Structures are given as C-alpha cells and as structure tokens.
Amino acid sequence: MKKVLLGLALGLSSMVGANETATQKNDVAELIKTFEGKKGTLTTVFNKEVREYESNIPCEVKIEGSKVYLDARTYFQNLIYIDDAAVQSTKDTIVVTSSEDGKRPGGSVCGDTSVLSSYKKTMEISNDSVTITEKFRCNLVSSYKQVVTCKINE
C-alpha cells in the first residue's frame, strides 16, 4: 500500500497542464479503490473530544462515482465528493479539498435554524487510513471541527 501511495503522490506532484485536475481525480479514485474491501476501525473526534458511540467500530472506505465515503454505523454518512475538488500531495499524504458548501436537505450542518457562515471539507489519504474533516462556523460565533478516520486493520 505504501508503494502505491508514494507512486501516486509522486505522479500527482509532477503533473502539469489542462488535464491535471481530471488526472488527479482519477488517481485519487484509483487510490481509494485500493482500500475497498479492507476492514478498518472508525474513530470520530468532534471539537477535540472522541465520540465514543461513533468510535472503535468497523468501517470500510468506498467509492461510488465521485462520492467517497466511510461506510460505518454512524448517524450521518461521512462522505466527500471529489468532482470539483482540489488535490494536493506531499511525500506521505494526498489531501482533497472539496468545493461542497455544507448545505443538506432541510438546512445545513448548522441545522435548519442557525446560519452557516463558513465551511470546509477535506479528505486526507495516507498509507493506511482515510480521514474526512469538516470545519464549519455557525452564527458567526460557534466553530466546529469533526474528524472521522477509517484506519485499515490489514
């Protein structure tokens, strides 16, 4: 797995030209497919506190079209869309920054009565895990950060 990630990271960092975005997303999709079928353990941290009821539970990383999600028994499905996303790579990780706006049917991540004032969602892919992070601010005052990681056991 480490060789696959390193090879993709080197390929992503060396690409240039008009097809860079499409190629990067294809490479991200191919990398996610290397995680499919492998069992992992989910950990959820909300504002620096581990959510015990959504941690130490089985998970799998899956992809359907442009949707990457962490399949586990959680209240909300932890997912990110990689179309229209920015992709960056470093030596050990690939970071996908989504263009999603935090809106959901019936409201936003802040609920249907609070105002969503900022939102950012990223996915970090490392050798043995996929992490989806959501950072958002509600009513210009309250800020939140949820970090959900599926660490592959194999």
Q: The domain spanning residue 80 has which CATH number? A: 2.40.128
Q: What is the pLDDT of residue 107?
A: 66
Long-range CB contacts (< 8 A, 24+ apart) of 20-23? 21/87
C-alpha 154/C-alpha 88 separation (Å) is: 26
Count of alpha carbons within 13 angstroms of residue 136, beta-carbon side: 22
Q: What is the pLDDT of residue 23?
A: 59
Q: What is the pTM of this model?
A: 0.82
Q: What is the pLDDT along the chain (154 residues), one digit of tens a residue?
A: 555 444 444 444 443 333 445 557 778 888 999 999 999 999 999 999 999 999 999 999 999 988 999 999 887 788 899 888 889 888 888 999 998 888 776 667 888 778 888 899 999 999 999 999 999 999 888 899 999 999 999 7
> How many domains in the chain?
1
Q: In the chain, which ranges are E strands?
A: 40-46, 49-50, 57-64, 67-71, 78-81, 86-89, 94-97, 103-104, 107-108, 116-125, 129-138, 142-152
- Full residue range of the structural domain in which residue 29 is found: 2-152
Q: What is the pLDDT of residue 10?
A: 41
DSSP 54: G
